[in-house]
Structure 1
Amino acid sequence: MARRRTNTGMYDPRRGGEPLRATTLAVEPGEFEPSRSNCFGVYCIESGRGNASVGEARHPFAARSLLFTVPYQYVRFHVDEPMAGNVVHFHANFLCVETFHAEAGCAGALFGDPLGVPVLPLDGGEGAEIFELAARIAREDAERGLAYREAALAYLKVLLVLATRRKSADGEACEIDPGSAGHPLLARFRALIEVEYRRRRAPAWYARELHVSPKTLGRVVRERLGTTPTALIRARILTHAKWELLHTLRSVKEIAAEVGFDDELYFSRLFKKFAGVSPTFFREFETEIRGGSNLSIPSGVPSIPRPTDPAENETDAPRGSGDRRVAPRRPRASRTEG
C-alpha cells in the first residue's frame, strides 16, 4: 500500500509559518508518514489502532491515547484500523516546553526522554477532558478569533499538565519511575546512561555494569520500549548534541569530541541521519527563526572525561578525517528558554 505523507513541514516565520498548527487527524489503514517537523507534536488519537515508529522505536497505540513527539524526530504510523482525532504541532516560539515544565514541576515527563514511552493511554473523565482541550485548540486555530493564540496557549498548557498528571499517576501506581516503562532494569539503565553516555556507547559495557547479559538487556529494552540499547544510548547523545548546538558557541568538532567522536564528519553524518538535517543547519536555522534564543531541549549533566580505551565503544568513527573545523554562525549564548 502506498505511503502517505502530510505537508506539515518545517515552521519558518520568514515564510509566513505559524508557531501553532492544529489539524484534524483522519487516516485510513496503511502507512502514514508525517513530514519531519521542527515542532513538538501532540497526537490526540480518539479512535484507531496500530503502531507508531518514533525515532528508532516502535510503539503500539489504540483508541483514546496520546502520542508525543519532539522537533526533528522521525515519525511513521502503521495504521491497522482507521485513526481519527486531532494533532497539535507547536514550536518553542509558541511554548517553551523546558521552561513550562520547570514552572509546572513536570520537567521531562512527556517530551524528549529516550527511555520513556511516548504513547500515553487515556480513559475516563480525564481522557475526555484532554480530547476536548485538543478540539478547542483546533477550533481556536481554525477560527482565529480575538486573542486566539492566548486562548490556544492556555488550553495547551492545561492539556500538558493533565497528561503529565496521568503519566505520573501510572508510574506511582506501579511504584516505578514513570519513564522506566515498568521494569526496574530500565530505571537502572537510564541512570547509568545519564552518567556514562559521553564515554560509553557499547551496550555490552552497560550490561556488565548492570550485572545482566547483553541478551537480557536487549530483550527487556525491545519488549518494553520497542527499540535497542544502542538506539537509546545514541538518542541520549544526540539530545545532548542538540542542546549544545543551540545553547553554546562551541564548534561541531568540539561537541562531537565531547560525546566520544574523533571524526567530526562521521558525527555530522550520524546527526543528519537521525535528525534529518546537518548540525550546522540545525544550529543556524533554529537560531535565526528563534531570533537568537534557544530551542527547548533538556541539558543533561556536566562534562565527563573521555575514556582512554577506544575498544569500549562499539561504533568508533574512522580516524584521520576529523581535523576540519566547522565555523558555525555565532548564536547568542543565552541560557534563557522560551
Structure 2
Amino acid sequence: MLSQSVYTLINQQNGNLSFKVFEFDNSSYFDHIQRNNYFTIIIINSGQGLAKVDLNEYVFEENTMFAFYPYQPFMLSSEGSLVGVCIQFHHDFFCIYRHHKEIAANGILFNNIYEQPFIRLDQNNKITLMNIVREIVNELKMEALRKDEVLVSYLKIFLVLATRIKLEQQSVDQTRTIGTKQLTIVQNLRNAIEENFRIKHSASDYAKILHVTPIALSRVTKNHFNITLSDLITERIIVEAKRELYLTDKTVKEIAYELGYEDEYYFSRVFKGKTDISPQFYRENIGFNRGAS
C-alpha cells in the first residue's frame, strides 16, 4: 500500500503533531480507549470487528472508513488481523470548524450526533481515497516549499469526497431502514433540535413540538439513533459548546448562558459527563486561547 509505515509533520513552533499517516496490520493500535486531541480517520482495508464509540457499539467489516473528532472516545477490537491506514491531524493544522462551509464535513463526517461514525467504501471510492492518501505520503516524504499548504489542499479534497460518499449512503440507508412516517418524525425531530436546543433541553419539550407522545418519540429515537432522546439533545448542545470554545473568546459562563444554562458549573458537569474533560481544559488544549497563542 504505502512504501513505509509512518509519516509525520511536526509543528515547528510547539513541537506538537500536526499531521500523521501510518499503516497498521493488527488491532493493537486501537484496542484500548482512544481520547486523542486531534482528528482521526481510519480506513479498514481488511479484517472485521467491533467498534465502541461514545456509548454505542458497531460491527464493522473491511472497506470501512471511520472519522473521529478530538477527545471522542473510541476503540476497535478484532479477533483476527486488522489491516489499514490511519490519518491524524490537529486543529492547529486544519480547523474543521473554520472550513466546514467549504467542505461540509463538520456535522457530517465529524461531530455528527445523527449518524453512525463510519462509511462503507465500494472499490471505486476506496481506490479514489487511497490515491489521495498516496499523494499525501509522497508530499510528506519531500523536503519542499510550502508542504503544509499542499497537504491541506489534499486533505480538503479527501474530506469533500468522503463527505459526498456519506451523504449518498445516508439517503439510501434511511430509505431502506425507516418507514415513511418514522422518517418524517426523525427529520422533524432533527429540525426541532436544531431550532430549539439552546432553550429546550427536555425530551418532553420535543414531544410537544412534534405532537407525538414522549413514549412514541423515544422509541423512534432509540430505533434510529441508538441513543436516548435526552442524550441526543445533550450531544447537540456539546457540539455547539465545542464550536464556541474553539472559535470565540467568550467565557464558559457566557457560552453556558447562551446554551440555556444559568448555572455555569452545572453546564461544566454536563460537558464533562459527555467528554470526560472540562470546558476549560478543552479550550486550553484545542480552542481559542491555544489558537491565539
Q: In structure 1, the residue corresponding to 2:111 is in which secondary structure?
A: coil
Q: What are the within-5 Å matches in structure 2 for residues 291-302 of structure 1?
A: 291-292=292-293
1:63-104 deviation digits (Å, cap 9, x = unpaired): 101111112211122435432211111122222224434234
> Is contact 1:14–1:289 with CA below 8 Å preserved after alignment?
no
Return closer, same or farther for 1:278/1:98 CA change in 2, 3 Å cut-off. Answer: closer
> Is contact 1:59–1:226 with CA below 8 Å preserved after alignment?
no
Return closer, same or farther for 1:259/1:103 CA change in 2, 3 Å cut-off. Answer: closer
For 1:73, the equivalent position in structure 2 comes to 72
Q: Distance in 2 between matches of 1:255 and 1:101?
A: 21
Question: Aligned partner of 2:162: which letter?
Answer: A
Question: Aligned partner of 1:290: which letter?
Answer: G
Q: Distance in 2 between matches of 1:66 and 1:263?
A: 39
Q: RMSD in angstroms over aligned alpha carbons? A: 3.0
Q: Does 1:290 align with 2:291?
A: yes
Aligned length: 276
> Is contact 2:100–2:106 with CA below 8 Å preserved after alignment?
yes
1:155-184 deviation digits (Å, cap 9, x = unpaired): 3222212112212223455687xxxxx933
Higher relative contact order (CA 8 A, sep 6+): 1
For 1:193, the equivalent position in structure 2 comes to 193
Q: In structure 1, the residue corresponding to 2:47 is in which secondary structure?
A: strand
Question: Aligned partner of 2:144: which letter?
Answer: L
Q: Does 1:83 align with 2:82?
A: yes
Return closer, same or farther for 1:46/1:24 CA change in 2, 3 Å cut-off. Answer: same
Share of identical aligned residues, percent?
Answer: 30
Return closer, same or farther for 1:288/1:273 CA change in 2, 3 Å cut-off. Answer: same
Q: Distance in 2 between matches of 1:23 and 1:157?
A: 19
> Is contact 1:137–1:152 with CA below 8 Å preserved after alignment?
yes
For 1:231, the equivalent position in structure 2 comes to 231
Unaligned stretches of 5+ in structure 2? Answer: 1-9, 176-181
Q: Of Structure 1 and Structure 2, which has the larger fraction of its residues in helix? A: 2
Q: Distance in 2 between matches of 1:78 and 1:262?
A: 41
Unaligned stretches of 5+ in structure 1? Answer: 1-10, 177-181, 293-338
Q: Distance in 2 between matches of 1:75 and 1:107?
A: 18
For 2:262, the equivalent position in structure 1 comes to 262
> Is contact 1:86–1:138 with CA below 8 Å preserved after alignment?
no
Moved more, 209-218 or 41-50: 209-218
Q: What are the within-5 Å matches in structure 2 for residues 145-294 of structure 1?
A: 145-147=143-145, 148-173=147-172, 183-286=183-286, 287-292=288-293
Q: Distance in 1 between matches of 2:236 and 2:98?
A: 20
Tell me by how many angstroms 1:190 deviates: 1.0
Q: Distance in 1 between matches of 2:27 and 2:107?
A: 32
Q: In structure 2, the residue corresponding to 1:82 is in which secondary structure?
A: coil
TM-score of the pair, normalised by structure 1 = 0.70
For 1:35, the equivalent position in structure 2 comes to 34
